[in-house]
Structure 1
Amino acid sequence: MPTVAADSHDASDDESDRAYQLVHGYDETQVISVDPIAGDEPVEEFYDARDPDGQSRSSLGTSEYQEDDKSMLMLYEGPDGVSLVAVHDKYHEDRAEGTRGGSLSWTVSGLPEDGEWAVIDDDPGRIEDDSHDDRFYIDPDHREGFSETDGEPPGRADALLSWEWSTGETDGVAYRGLNQDASITITPGFNEESYRRHDDQQDASSPADGNNGTVDDWVAIVPTDDGFERMDFHHTHEPTRIRSTSEPTRLGEMTLENDSIDPGEPARITAVIENPGDTDWTHEASLRIGDSELQSQTVTVPAGEERSVEFSQQISQTGVYEIGVDDEQRTLTVGDPESSDTDSEETTDEQAPGFGPAVALIALCVVVLGARHRTNN
Structure 2
Amino acid sequence: MVAFVGVVLGCTAATVPAAGAPAQATTGETGQVADAAPPNESADVDTYAVSQNGNCIEVTALGDGSESVSEFYQYGSHSGLYSSQGTNAYQEYDESQLFLYNGNESGSIVFVHGEAGSERGGGQASVTATGLPDDAAWAVEDDDYDTRDDNFTVDGERAHADWFWEDNRTDGGALRGLEQGDYEAVTIDIGFNDEAHHASLQAPLTIDTWRVHSADGESYVLDPSEPLTIRPGPCDGPSTQVTTDEPGTYAATARDVGGNATFDTGLSAENASGVVLDDVTVAPPANQSWFQVRLRATTENPVNAASGPEQPLMFVDPTGPQFEDPPENVQYFVSLDDAELAERDIRPESVAMFQYSDGEWRRVHHLTRRGGGERVIRSTNATGMDPVAVAVLQPDVRTQEITVSNETVEPGEEFEVRATLVNEGPANSTYDTELRMFDETVARASVLVPPGEQRTVTFTQSVESPGNYTVRVGDAETEIRVEGDGGEASEDRITAPGSVPLRVVLVGALVAALVVAGVGYRTR
**TM-score, length of structure 1 as denominator length:** 0.51
- Alpha-carbon distance in structure 2 between the residues aligned to 1:112 and 1:304: 13
Tell me: CA distance 1:61–1:245, structure 2 relative to 1, closer, same or farther (3 Å): same
Contact 1:21 1:32 in 2 (8 A): yes
Map of 2:71 onto structure 1: 45
**RCO greater where, 1 or 2, for CA within 8 Å and sep 6 or more?**
1
Contact 1:59 1:91 in 2 (8 A): yes
- Alpha-carbon distance in structure 2 between the residues aligned to 1:232 and 1:134: 25
- Alpha-carbon distance in structure 1 between the residues aligned to 2:113 and 2:257: 28
Map of 1:20 onto structure 2: 48
- Alpha-carbon distance in structure 2 between the residues aligned to 1:246 and 1:115: 22
Q: Could you tell me which amino acid in structure 2 is paired with residue 165 of structure 1?
A: W
Which residue of 221, 226, 229 corresponds with 2:213? 221
Contact 1:106 1:162 in 2 (8 A): yes
Structure 1: tracts of 5 or more residues without a match = 143-157, 201-210, 252-275, 283-300, 306-377
Q: Could you tell me which amino acid in structure 2 is paired with residue 66 of structure 1?
A: Q
Name the Cα RMSD after superposition: 3.1
Residue 173 in 1 paired to residue 173 in 2? yes
Cα deviation, 1:191-249, whole Å, max 9, x if unaligned, reads: 0010112544xxxxxxxxxx32321011010222xxx122101x221111111259962
Which residue of 10, 16, 39 corresponds with 1:6? 16
Map of 2:469 onto structure 1: none
Contact 1:108 1:159 in 2 (8 A): yes
Which residue of 125, 137, 148 corresponds with 1:104? 125
Partner-residue secondary structure (3-state), 1:38: coil
Cα deviation, 1:303-327, whole Å, max 9, x if unaligned, reads: 159xxxxxxxxxxxxxxxxxxxxxx
- Alpha-carbon distance in structure 1 between the residues aligned to 2:20 and 2:128: 32
- Alpha-carbon distance in structure 2 between the residues aligned to 1:248 and 1:188: 25
Residue 230 in 1 paired to residue 229 in 2? no
Map of 1:269 onto structure 2: none
- Alpha-carbon distance in structure 1 between the residues aligned to 2:256 and 2:192: 27
Shift of 1:175: 1.6
Report matched runs for 1:1-377 at 5 Å. 6-7=16-17, 11-12=18-19, 14=21, 16-17=44-45, 19-25=47-53, 29-39=54-64, 40-54=66-80, 56-92=81-117, 97-123=118-144, 126-127=145-146, 131-139=147-155, 141=156, 158-181=158-181, 182=183, 183-197=185-199, 199-200=201-202, 211-224=203-216, 228-233=217-222, 235-245=223-233, 249-250=237-238, 278-279=254-255, 303-304=289-290
Contact 1:249 1:277 in 2 (8 A): no
Contact 2:77 2:83 in 1 (8 A): yes
- Alpha-carbon distance in structure 2 between the residues aligned to 1:167 and 1:236: 21
Choose between structure 1 and 2: higher strand proportion.
Answer: 2
- Alpha-carbon distance in structure 2 between the residues aligned to 1:239 and 1:81: 24
Contact 1:36 1:77 in 2 (8 A): yes
Q: Could you tell me which amino acid in structure 1 is paired with residue 132 of structure 2?
A: L
Cα deviation, 1:152-190, whole Å, max 9, x if unaligned, reads: xxxxxx122110111111111112211243411111111
Map of 1:361 onto structure 2: none
Q: Could you tell me which amino acid in structure 1 is paired with residue 215 of structure 2?
A: P
Q: Could you tell me which amino acid in structure 2 is paired with residue 174 of structure 1?
A: A
Contact 1:197 1:212 in 2 (8 A): no
- Give the number of aligned pairs: 214
Contact 2:15 2:45 in 1 (8 A): no
Tell me: CA distance 1:247–1:12, structure 2 relative to 1, closer, same or farther (3 Å): farther
Partner-residue secondary structure (3-state), 1:34: strand
**TM-score, length of structure 2 as denominator length:** 0.37
Q: Could you tell me which amino acid in structure 2 is paired with residue 101 of structure 1?
A: G
Tell me: CA distance 1:166–1:280, structure 2 relative to 1, closer, same or farther (3 Å): farther
Partner-residue secondary structure (3-state), 2:204: coil
- Alpha-carbon distance in structure 1 between the residues aligned to 2:290 and 2:129: 24
- Alpha-carbon distance in structure 2 between the residues aligned to 1:117 and 1:41: 16
Map of 1:155 onto structure 2: none
Structure 2: tracts of 5 or more residues without a match = 1-13, 23-43, 240-251, 259-286, 292-524
Contact 1:108 1:160 in 2 (8 A): yes
- Alpha-carbon distance in structure 2 between the residues aligned to 1:230 and 1:178: 21
Shift of 1:6: 3.0
Q: Could you tell me which amino acid in structure 1 is paired with residue 128 of structure 2?
A: T
Q: Could you tell me which amino acid in structure 1 is paired with residue 52 of structure 2?
A: H
Tell me: CA distance 1:248–1:14, structure 2 relative to 1, closer, same or farther (3 Å): farther
